[in-house]
Amino acid sequence: MEKERRAEFTELVHKKVDSNLLVVVEIKMKESLFEPLNYLPDVETAFRSQRIEKAVNKFVDDVINGKIRIPDLEHVDEKQADKFSVHRLIFIYGVDSVSREISDNEQQSEICEQLVRNTFAHIYFERVLSREITYFDDFVTLVEGLTFAHLPALRKEVERFICQKVIEADMDPSFAKKLLLVSEKYNLEILKMVINGFLVDQIIGNSNPPKELVNITHELQQMAHEIRENENIENLVGAVVTDLQELTRRVRRVSLSHSPSQSSHSSSPLATPTNGSGSPSVPAPFDSPTSRFKRVSLA
């Protein structure tokens, strides 16, 4: 607390020894902390360098038009080779070429290369890889290929693309569950966070949350077979369900503990205990109409 109020607080505590104190804490956080896309590489900052953007676009144009030679690519039969190996050669050489062109001196080279990598990944995905995504299977193939090709920057761009689609549109619950399985298998943490939030809203908004969670579990098991996730299905689905259970428990706990109508003698194991005298009316911290932390009546 502020220095000028510390003495006042100390005196209050001394006077209240052996008494119960009700402490109300107001926590303020930036809205940007709850924007999933902010946890992905900052391409907007990268685009502030028009010089980098221009250089990357020129490189991609030259590759598409066959005006540039990629080392080692000339020894690869592009018709028979794994296309992700080709993407890897182009990406690595492209980042290196543009970094050397942009960097003014050695001291800035490391920062410059990271900036170039993020910008290159974003532009290369938008102009080349995004054209390969039409159906759900295309998304899975792209994520899998980029994972085994060790291209994390491009994986992040695929994740950004799907997250944007999920956030901007009304998502079909079945599609959300399939995405959750894929995000768990390939460690797409931001996408998993977005989908978990969507499904938790569905669970706590149901008249019987435990039953809804069981139904979702059965659907996930069936979908894991349908999308050919035959390896470690129990582990995959188990990890997903465990995360959903934990997040649902936390959201319901927040909802119940801040509900004015919740009795201090509630039988719910998720309710936060209060003293026998009850508590004063305190504004709930998650009352924003846009927040997914809604106060839900479970009576």
- Structure confidence at residue 275 (pLDDT): 43
- Structure confidence at residue 108 (pLDDT): 57
- Structure confidence at residue 280 (pLDDT): 39
Within 10 angstroms of residue 154's Cβ, the number of other Cβ atoms is 26
Contact between 294 and 255 under an 8 Å Cβ cutoff? The reply is: yes
Contact between 115 and 49 under an 8 Å Cβ cutoff? The reply is: yes
Q: Considering only CA atoms, which of 184, 60, 74, 78 is closest in space to residue 123?
A: 60
Rounded to the nearest angstrom, the gap between the alpha carbon of residue 138 and the centroid of all alpha carbons in its chain is: 20
- Structure confidence at residue 79 (pLDDT): 65
Q: Considering only CA atoms, which of 249, 284, 246 is closest in space to residue 268?
A: 249
pTM for the predicted model, two decimal places? 0.70
Contact between 241 and 213 under an 8 Å Cβ cutoff? The reply is: yes
- The torsion angles phi and psi of 217, rounded to 5 degrees, stand at -60, -45
Degrees, nearest 5: CA angle 208-212-217: 155
| Calpha distance 75→85 (Å, rounded) | 12
| Calpha distance 137→147 (Å, rounded) | 15
| Calpha distance 266→264 (Å, rounded) | 6
Walk along the chain (299 residues) and give the pLDDT tens digit of each residue: 788 899 998 999 899 999 998 888 888 988 888 888 888 887 766 555 788 889 999 999 999 998 888 887 776 666 666 889 889 999 999 999 988 887 755 455 666 778 889 999 999 999 999 998 888 889 999 999 999 999 999 999 999 999 988 888 777 888 889 999 999 999 999 999 999 988 998 898 888 888 999 999 999 988 888 776 556 778 889 899 999 999 998 888 776 655 554 444 333 333 333 444 444 343 333 333 443 333 333 33
